Amino acid sequence: MSRQSAHDAAVLDVIFNPLLPAGQEIPKERPEDTVEAEFQDNSDEANRAKELELEGVKSAEANDFDAALNYFNQAVSLAPNRASCYNNRAQALRLRGDVDGALEDLNKAIELSQGTGKAACQAYTQRGLIYRLEKKDDEALADFKRAANLGSPFARTQVIQMNPYAAMCNQMLTEVMGRLREGKCQE
């Protein structure tokens, strides 16, 4: 099998990442970072916390956010060092409109996970989304880059979409395509 030249790699990057300006790299997926970084706690408390989290997720999916928060609060009480408990509770808090509470839990999840693993990836992604909704684009982009480096495909697309050059190129391309369709091209 032959090695890919730098030119070949650049061509493939343009094909697979058309929204990204040529020559700019996006964070690569690192599968080793998607493994749960939390210590493998198989204690009765940790196992019960996992069960409570599953019940909380089911309640949230059924739009019963009060029940979901109850389950997540119990999980946090049982396993206060388990980052995913905070991640899940943050999602329920956000869905209930408690953005400040959600951010507090996401910060705690990032702290507990030490910024690595699946829990950190999810927390950075969630926090990036909140920042994006609050028009804090610099903070959002930083979190999406962190999540992308931890393996989040969604965060990778956000990094690309938030690139100002990509946005400008997309706008220009849309205008050119519109003119082509209308037959208003200049020669």
Q: Please give the mean pLDDT across all residues of the chain.
A: 80
pLDDT of residue 170 exceeding 70, the answer is no
pLDDT of residue 29 exceeding 80, the answer is no
Helices (H), the chain: 6-16, 44-61, 65-78, 83-95, 99-113, 117-133, 137-149, 153-161, 164-182
Q: pLDDT tens digit string along 111-147?
A: 999 999 999 999 999 999 999 999 999 999 999 999 9
Can you tell me the distance from the alpha carbon of 103 to that of 23, in angstroms, rounded to the nearest whole number?
34
Q: Which domain holds residue 133?
A: 31-161
Residue 25 lies in a domain: no
Residue 7 lies in a domain: no
Q: pLDDT tens digit string along 65-95?
A: 999 999 999 999 999 999 999 999 999 999 8
pTM value is 0.68
SS3 state at 169: helix
Residue 70 lies in a domain: yes
Q: What is the CATH number of the domain that holds 115?
A: 1.25.40.10
